[in-house]
Amino acid sequence: KQFNLVIKNGIVVTSGDSGPLDIAIKEGKIAYLAADIDANLAEKVIDAEGGYVMPGGVDAHVHVAQDFPSGANGVSAQCADNFESGSRSAVCGGTTTFLSFAHQNRCDPSILEVVEAYDKLAKESGSYCDYGYHVIITQPDIEMLQRELPVLVKNWGITSCKLFMTYAALQLRDNELLDVMFEARKLAITTMIHAENGDIISWLTDKLQEKGMVEPRFHAQSRPPVVEMEATSRAIVLAEMIQNPVLFVHVGSASAAEVIRSTQTRGFPIYAETCPQYLHLTWEDLASKKFHSPQCFENAKLICSPPPGPDNTDQELLWTGLRNGTFTIYSSDHCAFRYHDVRGKALGIIQHKESIEGSTCPIDDDHVHEIMHGKTGNFKYIPNGCPGLETRLPLLFNYGLAQGRITAERFVELTSTAPAKLYGLYPKKGALMPGLSDADLVIWYPEGHIKPFSLTNDHLHHDADYSPYEGMEFKNWPRYTILRGKVVWAEGELLGSKTDGQYQKRKPSQLTMSAVKTARTDRRRVATWLYQ
């Protein structure tokens, strides 16, 4: 037979077009698109029955197999998911490629060694989907960067790094941010910025602690939107000064989005990402609209940084940003910590108890239920992050596309094409170009095909013990996920295996490359002499 697989009767959507087309797949690649492809030419046929057929999701912001250094007692928090469970969850939610973080701790002198160790974890556990890495830099020794960044790009195809402006163990000062951006620019490495003013956060946190305002819901009060806005503005000044385009990850506040928008309008190219938690959660949820009481420790489930906005005014403005291009990409920032786990959200109770009693209390997993019920804990010790890999596409589909907030083409651009372009995976990923693109697809149910259901954690395939979106209604969900021509998820059944996923060596970002070439000349903002 001429083709391995033909998908018939779908509405094929790319970031630019949509229409009734059939797709033929051969040897893992998109081979051919046409209005009518003869089913007899294929070994296998899928009837999409009028549902959308799109390039598989590319989730550019995922934390798996990562430990987070904690401020207290040397205990570090541990992600709920490793490569195996994270990637399993990915394919069951229509995502075929994710990028996760190899994390340099301050005591690690070499980022190459960090990447090698992280890669070992991936190889040991296997992956259901394709994957690649960003590197988190916390110790930006210039000689190390000059020596290792070129090797990172050449040997590993890692063309992006993430820098933090907050968290004691991660925070870089302005001069350190400049050092990395300056080196990154030479290689067109995309610099991702976690923009929150760490000094304001620790100052406000101390004040909240003095007042006894320590319950999980006060996490948001320790970092009001202006904290993100200030850091975003400052990072823009630094980036523009040395002409290094940056990407703001997990933008949660409308005020930060506004600064980003006005910078883009001014003509300095910067990119931004937002995530489901900022479109669906508010301070009210954190203060237990979802759970039992404002005092409830369960609110810890929704703690992430930056926090979601105070109310749905921010949410509406973020939706506007998704439509009008302020946001380049939409990612999950899947950073799952198990709720009932001594290395997860329970740290917020355990370390609180230890800090009061002045000694370490050995608590094992068996006792974790016992201690968590009726206790309030302290936000300061709760690991930050929410699960969201598997719900990323379904949320944007049901609450964005299906409700007319974004078009189908924009959906594909935000979830697949733009992240692929931004991180050097395009057109292998994020597109349906015959001969060039991997046959990575997500196929949705035709409208009205499945009975609307209310999400529970049992629907999901991660190793987290909850989802922030439990109780929300879904009318559609990925029906099939196809990875390089192989059907890995079909009608609620996982068919893939953890040997399916391949490491993706990436090229430099197409977006960053073009941005680096446009040097600007406003001496008020740019050190124009730097590159003369």
What is the contact surface with Zn ion in residues (CB under 5 A)? 194, 333, 369
Nearer to ligand URP, 333 or 440 (CB): 333
How far, in Å, CA of 121 to CA of 104, rounded?
15
Q: Which does 384 bind (CB under 5 to 8 A by kind): ligand URP, Zn ion, none?
A: ligand URP
**Cβ contact 274:251 at 8 Å:** yes
Q: How far apart are CA 416 and CA 430, in angstroms?
A: 5
Task: Kindly state the smallest distance separating residue 185's Cβ from ligand URP, in Å.
Answer: 23
Which of 430, 433, 299 is closest to 15 using CA atoms? 430
Name the residue nearer to ligand URP (CB basis): 13 or 192. Answer: 192
**Closer by beta carbon to ligand URP, 337 or else 411:** 337
Based on the shown chain and the rule CB under 6 A, indicate whether residue 78 belongs to the binding site for ligand URP.
no
Q: Which of 8, 26, 29, 63 is the binder for ligand URP (CB under 6 A)?
A: 63
> What's the token pair of residue 512?
């960053």
52 CB-side CA count, 13 A: 27
According to the binding rule CB under 6 A, does residue 228 interact with ligand URP? no
Q: How far is CA 179 from CA 142, 182, 195, 275, 519, in A?
A: 7, 5, 17, 28, 19
Task: Establish if 250 lies at the interface with ligand URP (CB under 6 A).
Answer: yes
440 binds, among Zn ion, ligand URP, none (CB under 5 to 8 A by kind): none
Among 30, 300, 335, 382, binds ligand URP (CB under 6 A): 335
Asked if residue 49 lies in contact with residue 9, where contact means CB atoms within 8 angstroms, the answer is yes
Check binding of 290 to ligand URP (CB under 6 A).
Answer: no
Sequence letter at residue 433 = M
Minimum CB distance to Zn ion, residue 24 (Å): 37
Query: Minimum Å distance from CB 88 to ligand URP?
Result: 20
Query: How far is the C-alpha of 431 from the C-alpha of 434, rounded, in Å?
Result: 9
DSSP letter for each residue of 53-112: EEEPEEEEEE--S-EE--SSTT--EE-S--HHHHHHHHHHTTEEEEEEEEE--TT---HH
Q: Where are the beta strands (DSSP E) in 421-491?
A: 441-444, 453-454, 473-474, 478-483, 486-490
DSSP state of 383: P
Does residue number 276 form part of the binding site for ligand URP (CB under 6 A)?
no
**What does 369 interact with, of ligand URP, Zn ion, none (CB < 5 to 8 A by kind)?**
Zn ion
Is 58 within 8 Å of 95 (Cβ atoms)? yes
Instruction: Identify the residue among 384, 391, 467, 481 touching ligand URP (CB under 6 A).
Output: 384
Report how many residues bind ligand URP under the rule CB under 6 A: 9
> Binding partner of residue 455 among Zn ion, ligand URP, none, CB under 5 to 8 Å per kind?
none
Residue 473: CB minimum distance to Zn ion, A: 26
The residue within the footprint of ligand URP, chosen from 26, 134, 185, 194 (CB under 6 A), is 194
Q: Return residues touching ligand URP (CB under 6 A).
A: 63, 194, 250, 304-305, 333, 335, 384-385
